[in-house]
Structure 1
Amino acid sequence: MLKLQIYFSPEFLKDDAQVLNIVTDHNKAVGYLAFLLEENKKKMYVYGSLEEEGVSEDFKDLVKPYLQGLMKIKPELEVYTYLSIGGKKVEMEMEKE
């Protein structure tokens, strides 16, 4: 069985919101990641869903550094996440520097 590679494909980008499709190397959409920033309340909401359970570790490896990068840019933000793979909630440990 061939291993799928997954990538972000920007769908919608604004200063306070982003939607990134998650696509395979064959350009098949298998999920999404969305960010909403509420600047005045210093909160960021991150929602993501992946339908392919077989690439769950790749999903975590793709999402975690992206989130950590956003947290470095705006360290004062409180980040709320809800990520799911195949309909099951996924927990990820995030370190703030």
Structure 2
Amino acid sequence: MQIYFSPEFIKQDAQVLNVVTQENKAVGYLAFLLEEKKMYVYGQLEEGGVEEDFKDLIDPYLKGLTKLKPDLEVMSYISVGGRKIELNSGEEE
């Protein structure tokens, strides 16, 4: 199953992205909240099986956002099927 981001809400200091399948079925979300020098990232995917694809979507997107403010402290909580996963980009969890 392929998954993609579908923007739901975008502002300068916050974003909510739906995670959808190729049939446009929502299967999760990713939210970014920016406050001064901190970025909070919350994400949830309903079911496992595409955990690596989820990570592969999040990592470059997160790296792109942190390029805007290099001194940004990133805190995240990402889960797949209710289980916390670690991202590859090395941010604090």
Instruction: Give the equivalent residue in structure 1 for 2:57.
Output: 62
Using structure 1 for the length normalisation, give the TM-score. Answer: 0.90
- Alignment RMSD (CA, Å): 1.2
Give the TM-score taking structure 2 as reference length: 0.93
Gapped regions of structure 1 (runs ≥ 5): none
Distance 1:63 1:44 in 2: 14
Matches of 1:65 and 1:80 in 2, distance apart? 16
Give the Cα separation in 2 of the matches to 1:12 and 1:48: 14
Match of 2:18?
A: 21
Runs of 4+ in 1 over 4 A off after TM superposition: none
Higher helix content, 1 or 2: 1
Residue 74 of structure 1 deviates from its aligned partner by: 1.0
Q: Which amino acid aligns with 1:31?
A: G
* Corresponding residue SS for 1:57: helix
Aligned residues: 91
Distance 1:34 1:44 in 2: 10
| Identity between Structure 1 and Structure 2 (%) | 71
Paired residue secondary structure (1:92): coil
